[in-house]
Structure 1
Amino acid sequence: MRFFKFQKPQAILNRTIHQYQQKVRTTQASKVATFYAGHWSFNDNQTRKKHTLEITPNLLVQIDHKPLSGQVISLTENELVFLDHYGYQLKITCENQRPVSIYDEAEDMDYLIE
């Protein structure tokens, strides 16, 4: 004979609330990710070169068509922070649901997004 362990109603409610909160957070993150997704460009005034920045809807980052190794460590409506495999941060600032600037910690430089 098998005995089934019944969960307390409070445990079931807590699990349901937690699952709902995770779904809401995932949906909000997907919405915010769309603010950053797209093809952008910026100028490096020191080298006088124009660069491209591509951010996919699932937040993969490419510069000049080369994927950056690393991961997004923070995402808000105002800022996306990408940590590269060397440990440097790339901070992309967003205003009015559009990226407006990039801060490259490795170069200690700010770039305006066009």
Structure 2
Amino acid sequence: MHFFKFQRPQAILNQTIHQYQQKIRTTQAAKVARFYAGHWSFNDTQTRKTHTLEITPNLLVQIDHKPLSGKVISLTEHELVFLDHYGYQLKITCEDQRPVSIYDEAEDMDYPIK
């Protein structure tokens, strides 16, 4: 004789709510990621060089066409925080659904985005 394990109605409801909330968060993150996605440039006043910044819709980050190793650790409508493999943060500030500046923790420098 086999006994079937039935979940209580409250457990099923909690699981359904959790799955729905995850879907909402994923959908919202995808919408916010679009604010940052694109090709951008910024000037380094110390070296007098113009650099390119590319952010893909799935939040992969490249500078000067070189992928950065690391991961996005925070994403809001106002800021994307990328943690590189050295442990430094790259903070990209967004206003009016467009990136406006980059803060490079390793260099302790802010760069306006063009």
Normalising to structure 1: TM-score of the pair? 0.99
Give the % identical residues.
89
Determine if the alignment matches structure 1 residue 63 to structure 2 residue 56. Answer: no
- What residue in structure 2 maps to residue 87 of structure 1? 87
3-state SS of paired residue (1:30): helix
- What residue in structure 1 maps to residue 9 of structure 2? 9
Determine if the alignment matches structure 1 residue 32 to structure 2 residue 70. Answer: no
- Counterpart Cα distance in 2 of 1:23 and 1:98: 24
3-state SS of paired residue (1:111): strand
C-alpha RMSD over aligned residues = 0.3
Normalising to structure 2: TM-score of the pair? 0.99
- Counterpart Cα distance in 2 of 1:5 and 1:44: 63
- What residue in structure 2 maps to residue 100 of structure 1? 100
- What residue in structure 1 maps to residue 110 of structure 2? 110
Using the TM superposition, give the Cα deviation of residue 44 of structure 1 relative to its aligned residue in structure 2, in angstroms.
0.3
Task: List gaps (5 residues or longer) in structure 2.
Answer: none
- Counterpart Cα distance in 1 of 2:50 and 2:75: 26
The number of equivalent residue pairs is: 114
